[in-house]
Amino acid sequence: MAIEIKLPSLGEGVESGDVLEVYVKVGDTVKKDQALFELETDKATVAVPSPQAGKVLSITVSEGETVKVGQVVGTLEGVAGAAAPAPSTPAPAAPVAPVQAAPVVATAAPVTPAPVAPAPVAPAPVAPVPVAPASVKPAVVAPAPVSPAPVSAAVNAQPASSQANDDDVIAAGPAIRRFAREVGVDLAGVTGSGEHGRITREDVLSIVRNANQQQSTKQSSAPAASAPSAAPSGAGSESGSRNAAGKSSGERPGTAATDDFGPIRVDRLTKIRKTIANQMDKSWSTVPRVVNFDDADVTELEAFRQSSKDDYASRGIKLTTMPFLIKAIATALKHHPALNAVIDMENEQIIYKDYVNLGIAIDTERGLVVPTLKNADKMSIPDIAYALSELSNRVRNNDFAVSDLRGGTFTISNLGAIGGTYSTPIVNVPEVAILLVGRSRKLATVMDDDSIKPRLMMPLSLAYDHRLVDGATAARFLNDIIAYLEAPSRLLLAI
């Protein structure tokens, strides 16, 4: 009996998504909850699971297609004895971690021996580890510069006995699958070191490192006679490695094309970029914004942080200035409710939030992501440091849910982590204010006794919705933040 596969609920407010990649094809046998395809929503990328075990009869979606919640995406022939899913209970939205669009790590240089047919070598060893250099036959020379084929060739030379059966599900989330494809690693030959044998990012990286070492060993031991022919290949591989290691700075996005004036590159507007564009357009067209600029003397705060950072480092936490800034903002918001509110023009209401959820803007390969630190006003500085570290790691690994991006009442943008001082940030509607912090720098400062001393100054840019927040209110709020930052002891005792 054919069972319809429908796109399940993806979270509150999420009605559709774009198909990034289809994992299965007609005729494949899948297990219950096995990932069928990747779907990109507003911010997160999730895997759509199979509602039950069976054989794939049809797949009605393709890459790049937009799919709505409840839409039929394929059919499945159920396995005898498997219970069909209840019609009224949709399958969970994302049983596996979101996919990471991580930058490609540095790849090894292409192998210099003569090209061989593009098929992986299959020696006899059983252990699913990279083959020793002596046992690896010359791998396929990478094709045109499209993907990290050199690592793929080296890694694909895994023992044939380690390849998983068609009916087996590789214990790896979509984020790890995406990362493995980026660096050319076949997950069927990787042994997971995570819980219940789950493949981790480090497992994939170890395969890449081993492949790089093998290739480096081969090149360093190659006879000098082969140098002329190896030189062009080496030059190309160096460029490829730079692109792989620094994708944002070296590799150009999009597909090559031409217009009336010369070569161009055309790239698809992703779901995330469309969401960001719509949000920015809405903010720009509806919010009359004003920006206040000021500086906080964080000399004492920096000395306090330096004296405390080793205690946090011993627990695996890097203590930055951000936890102190978050604490200062969260405390100030409790005393200035107008900046922790929402204006509802349609119903002629102002909604003041009694909770403080701070959105932390984080720059990622896939675009700007703003996860929310919930109830920041109730957290101590150590709690904030731990929570911020965990939140940052999850965003970097693309291991977050749509719910992590919702419920914010105020946004912080840290330009100083990249560089720069002041800016005019865009208010993240429906919020009414956003604070941008620049890179702290030493400035000659006139002290109260008219002496001039070098002080570490932190630039602050507060943008706010002038429909609700007056200039005086914004100035008082920013003054309170500065006062907390300039007196760390007051910040620790703040209520």
Instruction: List pLDDT tens digits, range 68-83.
Output: 888 888 888 876 555 4
Q: What is the pLDDT of residues 138-174, one digit of tens each?
A: 444 444 444 444 444 344 434 333 333 443 467 777 6
Q: Quick one: 407 and 482 in the same domain? A: yes
| One domain for residues 293 and 233 | no
Dist. CA 451–CA 495, nearest whole Å = 34
If pLDDT is split at 50, 70 and 90, which confidence band does 90 have?
very low
The packing angle between helices 322-335 and 471-486, to 10°, is 140
3-state secondary structure of 416: helix
In angstroms, the CA 61 to CA 57 distance is 13
Alpha-carbon span 371 to 310, nearest angstrom:
27
In a domain, 457, yes or no: yes
Residue of 433, 171, 410, 174 lying closest to 289 (CA atoms): 433
Phi, psi of 281 (to 5 degrees): -65, -40
Domain count, the chain: 3
For 153, 154, 181, 239, 413, the CA distances from 140, given in Å and listed in that order, are 6, 9, 17, 19, 46
Handedness of CA 16, 17, 21, 23 (dihedral sign): negative
Same domain, 312 and 363: yes
Q: Give counts: helices (H), strands (E), the chain.
A: 11, 20
Q: pLDDT > 70: what percent of the chain? A: 70
What's the DSSP call for residue 268? -
Range of the domain at 457: 288-492
CB-based burial, 265-287: b 16+ in 10 Å, e otherwise: eeeeebbbeebbeebeeebeeeb
By annotation, the residues acting in catalysis are 466
Both 245 and 298 in one domain: the answer is no
334 and 459 share a domain? Answer: yes
Average pLDDT over every residue of 80-108: 44
Do 463 and 351 have their domain in common? yes
| Average model confidence (pLDDT) across the chain | 75
CATH code: domain of residue 239: 4.10.320.10
Question: 85: left (phi > 0), else alpha (psi -120 to 50), else beta?
Answer: beta
Residue range 343-355: average pLDDT?
93
Task: Show which of 54, 78, 102 is a domain's final residue.
Answer: 78
349 against 80, higher pLDDT: 349
Pick the last residue of a domain from 78, 111, 144: 78
What are the structure tokens assigned to 430, written together?
């429906």
146-160: burial string, b at 16+ Cβ within 10 Å, e else = ebbbbbbbbbbbbbe
Region 257-285 average pLDDT:
85
CA 444 to chain centre: 39
Give the CATH number, domain containing residue 461. 3.30.559.10
Query: Do 330 and 469 reside in the same domain of the chain?
Result: yes
Q: Which of 187-191, 238-242, 408-412 has the lowest mean pLDDT?
A: 238-242
